[in-house]
Amino acid sequence: MTAMIAADALIGANRAAKDPAPTSEEAIYQVMHAAIAERRLPAGMRLVEDQLARLFCVSRARIRAVLQSLARERMVTLQKNRGAFVSYPSVAEAREVFQARRVIESALVREAARMVQPAGLDRLRAHLEREKAAVLQQDRRIEIKLSGEFHLLVAELVGNATLSGYLAELIARSSLVIAIYEGAGAHDCWQTEHHRIVDALAAGDGETAANLMESHLAEAESRLALTSEPAAPKLDFEAIFGV
């Protein structure tokens, strides 16, 4: 994918919503974050400041600030004298992300089982329906997005914005990891596992919910081909066009 096509994909999100191109740093950050997490901008791709500045009709300085925010969350990697790239997590980093998720999410779900209210369970069950619909439509991108959102919804039951923030970052990085390392034939059965987690929450059984969450994440990690790093795709804009 060339940078230009990716730029179209990026702005496409706005056109679809019939919104003008976002101009505040926060809005640009949101659009770019979603484009990376949803894999419209692939791992390893170079992000050219000039192009992004033109695309969003803002100064390069603003784009740089957004790229720095994304770099703090490790969604983007800044390389000296080479510019910004969509991060390309190593095998070691991929394992770290999943280990961190197991630790944080098993604790969160145990806590959630203690404090969940009927409205929270309703939200989770409505979400499971959306996941089911995405599977039936075979829309892999939406499936991955909804899978991540399920985990955030569980975290939100606890009402700890700091932990939810950490988790949002880990989930976005998981999306990059899955994009790179998803083995051939790997397929989520996350929906079934998500159902079991919701049932344990409804029963107020924190111990079971925590065990299910831990094995669910271990299972997701085991489906990845975390043996060696595939070569990062050569998506350098200048190299592609010889400029």
Enumerate binding residues for Zn ion (CB under 5 A). 147, 190
Nearer to Zn ion (CB atom), residue 88 or residue 190: 190
Nearer to Zn ion (CB atom), residue 95 or residue 196: 196
CB of 40 to Zn ion, least distance (A): 21
CB of 150 to Zn ion, least distance (A): 6
CB of 17 to Zn ion, least distance (A): 27
Nearer to Zn ion (CB atom), residue 149 or residue 236: 149
Which residue number places its CB atom closest to Zn ion? 190
CB of 59 to Zn ion, least distance (A): 40
CA distance 5 to 8: 5
Nearer to Zn ion (CB atom), residue 28 or residue 172: 172
Nearer to Zn ion (CB atom), residue 29 or residue 190: 190
CB of 188 to Zn ion, least distance (A): 8
